[in-house]
Every structure is written in C-alpha cells, then in structure tokens.
C-alpha cells in the first residue's frame, strides 16, 4: 500500500530543518523540540495503524528517487511487519529523549563552560541530535542498501560529534575510538554492498511487497561469498558482539547521557535488524551456513556481557556492558532462522530500546541532581527519596529480564521457541545442554539487573536526596507507561511480523 502523503520522508527530513531554523532564531528552540518529537512519533503511528491495525503487509511513502538508469535502484521508505517493532522503538525513544535533553544538556553545557571548554550551544546540540535521530529512522525505513548506508554514515558522523563535543572523561580520545571502530564496520558493509550491487545490477532490497532475488541468480562465486561476508562482519562490529565489542563500553558510558540513551539501545540494535532484513532476504544460503557460528557467538555475548556487567560499579558503564549482553539475545533469535526466533528478536529490540533508554535517563537524573553521581557503591536507599524513579528503574530492568508487564516477555518467549524449533528433534543430552545454556543466560540477566537495583535503591541511605518530579522526569514516566502499553498491544506487533518473516524464510525451504 502507498500512503496518500509523504509522511515517512517528512518525519526523516523535517526535524533537522527545524533544528536549523531554531539555530537562526533561538526563541524557536523549545517549539522546534516539541514539533520534532511529534515528527519522530509519526512513523510509529503510521506503522501501528496501517500494518498493525489495518493488516496491510507493508506501507510505502509515495515519494521516491528513481535511480534505475544508474543501476542503483530506487530510494524509497517503507514500513512492514519486520521493521515495525524497530521503528516503534526508535520513534518512542528519540521523541521522549529529545524533551529530556533540554534540561540535561543545558546543565552539561554550563559544566563544560565552567571548565573553560568552549562548546557549541543548545541549538547546535539539537541540530546534531535531530540529524542523528532522523538517520536511525531512515535506516529502519530504507528499502535500498545504498540508502541504508547513507543514513548509517550520517548516524556515525553526528554521534561522533555529539560525543566529542559534549561527552565525559577523555571525550576526544573516546570519540575517536568510537569513530574508527564504527567506520571500519561501515566500510565493510559498503564493500559488501558494492559487491552485491555489481552482481545484481541494483541495490534494491524490497520491490513493493516482493523480495528481490536478483542476486541469487548471479553465478560468480566470489561475489556470492564476499558480499554477505563483508556485510555480516560489518554488522557484527556495529552490534558489538563479543570479540569486536571493545569500543562500546567507552563510547556509550562517556557519551552525554541522552545520547547514551540512543546509542546503546537503538543504534547498535539496528545492525541486528539489518542482518535479518538484508542477510535473510539476499543471502539465505550464506546465513544458513553460518547459523551455528552465529548461535555460538550469541550465547557467548549474552554470558560475557552479563558477567562483566556484574563487576561494574559505574552505573553507565554497567548499562553499556548490559547492552552487549542484550545484543546477544538479538543475535540468538536471528541465528535460529525460524519465524519465532526472528520475530522475537525484533520484539526484543523494542523491549531493549525502551528499557535501556529508561535506565540511561535515570542515570542522567542522578548525574544532574546528585552532583555527577555514577558510582553504584555510593548510592543505596534512593527509593525513599526517589520512589517514582525507583519504580521506573524496576520497569526498565524488567524489560531487560523479560518479566511482565514488559514487552520483553514476548520477545524472550519467542526467541526461546525459535531455539527449540531450530534444534528439534533433540537427543536427551542435547536437550539438557540447550536448556542449561538458556536457563543460565536468562538467570544472569535477572541477576545483574536486580543486583544493580538493590545497590542503587535499597539498603541504608548513603546520601541526602529529595524527590522533585518535573518535566525532566516526566518524559521517563511517559516512556515507562508506554512500555506497559506495548505489553498489552503486543499483538499489533507480533501478528504483522508473521507475513514478513515467512517471506524472509521462503528461500530456506
């Protein structure tokens, strides 16, 4: 189905334009932030209505750029069942973090100026923020590999600038570390993309509601092997899978907290979505051949991230290692190559996006109101002074651990069903091994979540604090409420995924 108006392109292109206008007239900044937040929510509203409620298999923006004569395909934006959970997650988080950013970044800029550091002001921050948020939406909506790469590079440049200008610690070194690793990932993805485009004569992935199988007819074995190899390697680095994860704890822990709330749940998870979208659509045989290796990497990532997170005292660094572990769940679902596993992975993306953004925003509340406090060993008893914040933190951890009423329950349940289906039929020994690994993974997620909850909010109070609920915390409250709502309406997300995933898996049958 085609939309009557170019709503998707508007939601991607207009927020940066609004930020430029507010930079020219500072009085427009507050209004620009409010309107940008509404625009970020627009793709989620479109997808939930047309794909989730009305039952359309996909909905496309009427505006497109036809570059077929240059063998580049067409640049257009589309929502379908596979991308819907990802788009909903990005829309909610970017919209509410934009509002949250206003007070937080005003204080952060003042801190930097007191230190004698000249940094761009709020107008420049929101220009970078809006461009970064739009680029993530653009990636989730893209139907063309080159268009995806363009948005990928915009996200890299804008997030690099945000860390370099407004981050903590040795932000220049950390931002450079982040830039190099993610640029290598982008370069690998581009090399694979070029191999694909040369072989297929087009960079399109989706053609209406049908999947492009042109590359499957290419007989050059080198291209068939190198294109998916480079694309998957680049995406594994972007996901920060164990072995190529070293950059993430530094960049995500020392980024300004609103940007951490976008980087850790949203940006790295898009690589998992891209692996499902591009890998299974274009290279099903390759994905099937490496499924066991991906499964091993997934379990290793879940357990490694969980065990290292348990050792962290810095709240933001703890959340960064938790994100590594959560990416293991995403990869686990995709590696099963089953309907349940892939649909569960996309739901897990949504759950992680909301839960982790809530937790990073809570970390930001402590940083701003408790004089930069990040050490969990110096916290304790904060539930008495911050009861609403403690309740929201509990909800955030429940999203990570898959405990109702969080949408994470549905994601983990579907991933579990996908693993069982992928390994069926099982011998008693294999069943015991798989069960032990999965139980250990789920237990470790719950352990590090509630150990952190205990350290921060319970026990004897270690500092004096007073609760004041305002717009700053209101955005966190709204996000927590939306997390519960998504648990209730999960059917609007699960059902549309069925048709999309079935098309993805056709080539494996």
Q: Cβ distance 176 to 167 under 8 Å? A: no
DSSP structure string for 145-162: HHHHHHHHHHHHHHHHHH
Helix 339-369 / helix 84-114 crossing angle, nearest 10 deg: 20
Residue 473 has a pLDDT of 66
pLDDT band per the 50, 70, 90 thresholds, residue 426: low
**CB atoms closer than 10 angstroms to residue 487:** 18
Residues with Cβ within 8 Å of 481's Cβ and at least 6 positions away in sequence, in order, are none
Residue 72's pLDDT is 86
Instruction: Give the model confidence (pLDDT) of 315-363 as tens digits.
Output: 999 999 999 999 999 999 999 998 889 999 999 999 999 989 999 999 9
Contact 22/28 with Cβ under 8 angstroms? yes
Q: What is the pLDDT of residues 131-148, one digit of tens each?
A: 999 999 999 999 899 999
The whole-number pLDDT of residue 218 equals 44
pTM here is 0.92
Residue 304 has pLDDT above 90, yes or no: yes
Model pLDDT, residue 211: 42
Q: What is the pLDDT of residue 94?
A: 94
Q: Shortest CA distance to 139 belongs to which of 125, 128, 129, 153?
A: 153
- Average pLDDT over all residues of the chain: 87
pLDDT confidence of residue 83: 92
Confidence at 116, pLDDT banded by 50, 70, 90: confident
**What distances in angstroms separate CA 419 from CA 180, 337, 410, 430, one per listed residue?**
35, 9, 14, 12
pLDDT at 306: 93
How many helices and strands in the chain, by DSSP H and E?
Answer: 21, 6
* Residue 493 near residue 52 (C-beta atoms within 8 A): yes
Q: What is the pLDDT of residues 38-55, one digit of tens each?
A: 999 999 999 999 998 888
461: closest CA among 382, 372, 374? 382
């Amino acid at each position: 189905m085609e939309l009557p108006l170019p709503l998707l392109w508007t939601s991607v292109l207009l927020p940066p334009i609004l930020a430029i206008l507010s930079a020219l007239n500072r009085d427009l900044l507050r209004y620009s932030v409010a309107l940008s937040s509404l625009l970020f929510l627009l793709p989620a509203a479109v997808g939930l209505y047309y794909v989730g409620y009305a039952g359309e298999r996909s909905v496309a923006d009427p505006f497109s750029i036809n570059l077929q004569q240059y063998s580049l395909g067409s640049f257009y934006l589309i929502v379908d069942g596979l991308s819907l959970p990802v788009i909903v997650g990005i829309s909610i988080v970017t919209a509410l973090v934009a509002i949250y950013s206003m007070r937080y970044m005003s204080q952060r800029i003042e801190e930097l100026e007191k230190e004698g550091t000249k940094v761009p002001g709020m107008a420049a921050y929101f220009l970078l923020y809006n461009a970064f948020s739009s680029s993530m939406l653009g990636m989730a909506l893209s139907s063309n590999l080159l268009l995806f790469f363009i948005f990928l590079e915009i996200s890299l440049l804008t997030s690099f600038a945000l860390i370099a200008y407004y981050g903590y610690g040795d932000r220049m070194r950390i931002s450079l570390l982040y830039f190099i690793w993610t640029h290598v990932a982008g370069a690998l993805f581009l090399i694979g993309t070029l191999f694909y485009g040369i072989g297929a004569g087009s960079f399109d992935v989706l053609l209406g509601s049908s999947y492009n199988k042109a590359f499957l007819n290419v007989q050059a074995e080198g291209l068939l092997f190198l294109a998916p190899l480079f694309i998957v390697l680049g995406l594994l680095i972007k996901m920060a899978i164990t072995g190529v994860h070293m950059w993430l704890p530094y960049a995500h822990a020392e980024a300004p907290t609103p940007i951490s709330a976008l980087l850790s749940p949203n940006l790295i998870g898009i690589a998992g979505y891209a692996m499902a979208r591009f890998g299974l659509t274009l290279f099903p045989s390759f994905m099937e051949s490496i499924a066991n290796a991906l499964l091993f990497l997934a379990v290793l990532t879940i357990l490694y991230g969980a065990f290292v997170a348990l050792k962290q005292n810095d709240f933001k660094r703890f959340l960064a290692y938790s994100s590594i572990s959560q990416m293991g769940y995403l990869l686990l679902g995709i590696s099963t190559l089953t309907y349940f596993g892939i649909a569960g992975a996309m739901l897990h993306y949504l759950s992680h996006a909301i839960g982790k953004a809530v937790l990073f925003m809570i970390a930001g509340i402590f940083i701003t109101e408790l004089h930069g406090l990040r050490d969990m060993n110096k916290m304790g008893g904060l539930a008495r002074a911050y009861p609403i914040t403690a309740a929201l933190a509990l909800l955030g951890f429940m999203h990570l651990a898959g405990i109702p009423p969080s949408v994470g329950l549905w994601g983990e349940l579907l991933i579990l069903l996908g693993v069982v289906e992928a390994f069926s039929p099982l011998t008693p020994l294999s069943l015991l091994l798989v069960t032990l690994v999965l139980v250990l993974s789920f237990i470790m997620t719950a352990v590090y979540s509630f150990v952190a909850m205990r350290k921060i909010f319970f026990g004897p109070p270690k500092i004096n604090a007073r609760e004041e609920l305002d717009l700053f915390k209101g955005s966190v409250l709204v996000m927590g409420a939306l997390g519960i709502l998504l648990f209730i309406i999960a059917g609007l997300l699960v059902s549309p995924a069925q048709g999309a995933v079935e098309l993805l898996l056709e080539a494996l049958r």
